């Protein structure tokens, strides 16, 4: 599972590094709001900066979220299945839906970004028209990172099918729902059967 740990660590580092874009996004929006409403001097750049920063943040967090098993799923059914059943379900869904979609993302994203670079595409949303092809190159990069994380997830599924237990993940945050369920199980265990 060294490959899985390496991919998880890489995507964790990338996700945490790009999470700092939220600071830049917040500053840009606050500056725009103050300039617009306090000084009646809206900027030409804040809208472009905000959608580029948010888009980059959102996309670069995808592989990190997958590494943390944080994407949305129908947990109300899934959580009642055995780990082997969960792993088989995930394995099939990764092969049938995930990888074809991600491969399409890389292929189309590369074409999209390459054309933007060739034409030196600029934003049409502001008079300054900043270049946006660097932003568009994030799409195929994210596709590659999601592909790597998908392979790691497939290996997790295979390991779970073999052993009947999910391999450990790196932990830095937990969903509130999971924390509440764990606390309820601990409380119930302390109280004993009723």
Q: What is the pLDDT of residues 3-62, one digit of tens each?
A: 999 999 999 999 999 999 999 999 999 999 999 999 998 888 888 888 889 999 999 999
The reply to whether 10 falls in a domain is yes
The reply to whether 141 falls in a domain is yes
Tokens describing residue 74 = 């129908």
The pTM for the full model equals: 0.80
Asked if the model's pLDDT at residue 160 lies above 90, the reply is yes
Strands (E), the chain: none
- Judge whether 43 and 31 are in contact, CB under 8 Å: yes
pLDDT at 194: 61
Report the percent of the chain where pLDDT is more than 90: 59
The reply to whether 180 falls in a domain is no
Number of domains making up the chain: 1
Residue-number span of the structural domain to which 10 is assigned? 2-70+77-169
Tokens 């028209």 locate to 129
Confidence band of 154 (pLDDT split at 50, 70, 90)? very high
- Judge whether 133 and 116 are in contact, CB under 8 Å: yes
The reply to whether 90 falls in a domain is yes
The reply to whether 186 falls in a domain is no
pLDDT at 99: 97
pLDDT at 29: 93
Backbone angles phi, psi at 74, to 5 degrees: -80, 70
The whole-angstrom separation of Cα 46 and Cα 25 is: 9
Task: Summarize the confidence of residues 145-156 as an average pLDDT.
Answer: 95
The reply to whether 132 falls in a domain is yes
The reply to whether 192 falls in a domain is no
């Amino acid at each position: 599972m060294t490959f899985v740990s390496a991919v998880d660590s890489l995507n964790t580092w990338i996700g945490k590094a790009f999470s700092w874009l939220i600071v830049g996004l917040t500053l840009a929006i606050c500056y725009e709001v103050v300039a617009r409403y306090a000084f009646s001097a809206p900027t030409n750049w804040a809208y472009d900066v905000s959608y580029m920063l948010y888009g980059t943040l959102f996309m670069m967090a995808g592989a990190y979220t997958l590494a943390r098993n944080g994407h949305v799923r129908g947990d109300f059914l899934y959580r009642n299945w055995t780990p082997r059943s969960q792993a088989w379900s995930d394995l099939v869904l990764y092969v049938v839906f995930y990888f074809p979609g991600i491969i399409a993302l890389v292929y189309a994203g590369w074409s999209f970004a390459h054309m933007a670079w060739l034409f030196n595409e600029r934003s049409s949303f502001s008079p300054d028209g900043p270049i946006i092809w660097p932003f568009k190159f994030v799409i195929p990069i994210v596709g590659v990172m999601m592909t790597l994380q998908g392979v790691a997830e497939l290996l997790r599924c295979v390991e779970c099918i073999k052993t009947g237990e999910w391999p450990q993940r790196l932990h830095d945050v937990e969903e509130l729902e999971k924390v509440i369920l764990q606390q309820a199980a601990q409380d119930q265990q302390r109280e004993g059967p009723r």
